[in-house]
Structure 1
């Protein structure tokens, strides 16, 4: 494993480094949420909440000064590429190169950094900016693995299905919150985490979907405004709840609840 370029056409590596799927908090059938949760009953489960940003899921793969930038499904840029497809990719390229300058990444360690890029032209971008060219990036997870371990993993994985099972069953060596906080501090303000909302027991989130929606409304305004004026404190996409060990992750999107109420004519 000399650099990351050798993995650009490797579907196993691509699948391995994707972010796991995030389930909805309530079960969904045919676009309608049910008064039934997606996780096993465990009222002692402690979760923390962050804002769900309506942007594009991005991963930075960093190894010995080399890097790849990927969307949720595919690679969009590799260090040294001449072709830059749009302003968003240019922003991400400049961003990761600034991170490489500000943080000392260890040798022979593969880092997978996940976050959300939001701003001009991305999803419901006018919730975040009125500018014709303005972007932001917030991280929400990181894992890292030594060279020998990632090489052994790639050798042992025989199919994309096997890799998918590994990924979706939370086998990544996730960083804990102390490690994440240290990383953010050492990046001297360049890196920011997805806005923190609340730490609570899972039992404090209502099961009834109407009550859940009312609970969510306290987090309805975004904290990732890019204009810095206060005039653009528009609606957040929702919230994400996680346990510290990532054994449970779920999303609650305002749109999902509002569409459910409209279809069921309950609101």
Structure 2
């Protein structure tokens, strides 16, 4: 039997679906020192390793959102990173950060031909004046959305209890469309991806803090502008071809680290 929206009204099914489709946190390329004395600086040793080719995309600074499409396109839901905001057929929805406003038309167009899995598209919704970096992208009146990942969750995962689902997700249980399939999915549904920047052999990625910041510098201006002169970019996200290994490099982390280093040497 195909999972239907009506099935989500029973028991904990909606909470299980919410948990199984949450987007996992992307680690920083260099580890952040969480000790109070570290003041949030990056640690030089052991950046995240990438085998094969590493693909770089702009890290757009907005609100992480998701569109969940049930198997055989039997219905859709829209959520933020932390909660579900709307379900197909709702007369009312949560207006949080204009996420539903930005994604409802797209949700009606996304398809999931699979019978065994729930498909979730993850997008960055950005440009709204209530988000901290809105001035980098436009006038704060217009919002836009960029696709950055698509996951597959087998329906059978929802047979587990909530704790086991959370553990499964936190230990890499979700499947991901690979780089090529993700691009094809975006093209098929006429949705823009986060800006692609470059690709490079994983073995050639910088190891030091200074070299990582040098890697970032050519991409200091956003390529995801909505209106007006584009402003500062937040950074980049690196991904392996299978989308299982990811790491983020943010300008603010590297600039803070170099400032703290200079203060310590003064």
- Measured against the shorter chain, the TM-score band is 0.7 to 0.9
Cα deviations by residue, 1:43-99 (Å, 9 ceiling, x for unpaired): x542100000101111100123421111111112222223344371342343334xx
Task: Please point out which of 28, 31, 34 is paired with 2:32.
Answer: 28
Matches within 5 A, 1:101-250: 101=109, 103-106=110-113, 108=115, 109-121=117-129, 122-131=131-140, 133-145=141-153, 149-150=154-155, 152-155=156-159, 157-160=160-163, 162-187=164-189, 189=190, 191-227=191-227, 229=228, 232-250=229-247
Superposition deviation, residue 215 in structure 1 = 1.5
Question: What's the RMSD between the two structures over aligned residues?
Answer: 2.4
Length-normalised TM-score, structure 1: 0.84
> 2:45 is paired with a residue of what secondary structure?
strand
Equivalent in the alignment of 1:96: 106
Flag structure 1 segments of 5+ consecutive residues without an equivalent: none
Cα separation, 1, equivalents of 2:132 and 2:89: 28
Distance 1:2 1:104 in 2: 14
Q: Is contact 1:170-1:246 (8 Å) kept?
A: no
Q: 1:201 to 1:93 in 2, by over 3 A?
A: closer
Change (3 A) 1:79 1:128: same
* Structure 1 position 265 matched with structure 2 position 262: yes
The CA distance in 1 between the partners of 2:206 and 2:192, in whole Å, is: 30
Per-residue deviation, residues 203-239 of structure 1 (Å, max 9, x unmatched): 3222111221121101111011001x4xx22111000
The 2-side partners of 1:136 and 1:234 are apart by 15
| TM-score, normalised relative to structure 2 | 0.84
Higher deviation after alignment, 69-78 or 79-88: 79-88
The answer on whether the counterparts of 2:69 and 2:111 sit within 8 Å (CA) in structure 1 is: no
CA contact (8 A) 2:80 2:99 kept: no
Alignment-derived partner of residue 51 in structure 1: 58
Distance 1:52 1:201, change over 3 A: same
User: Number of aligned pairs?
Assistant: 250
Distance 1:137 1:93 in 2: 8
Identify unmatched segments of 5+ residues in structure 2: 35-39
Aligned-partner Cα distance in 2 for 1:192–1:212: 27
- Structure holding more strand per residue: 1
Distance 2:13 2:150 in 1: 23
Q: Name 2:37's counterpart in structure 1.
A: none
Change beyond 3 A, Cα 1:9–1:105: closer
After superposition, the C-alpha distances for 1:116-167 in whole angstroms (9 at most, x for unaligned) are 1101222311000014x2011111111235xxx41x2221x2342x323322
> Partners of 1:246 and 1:82 in 2: how far apart?
36
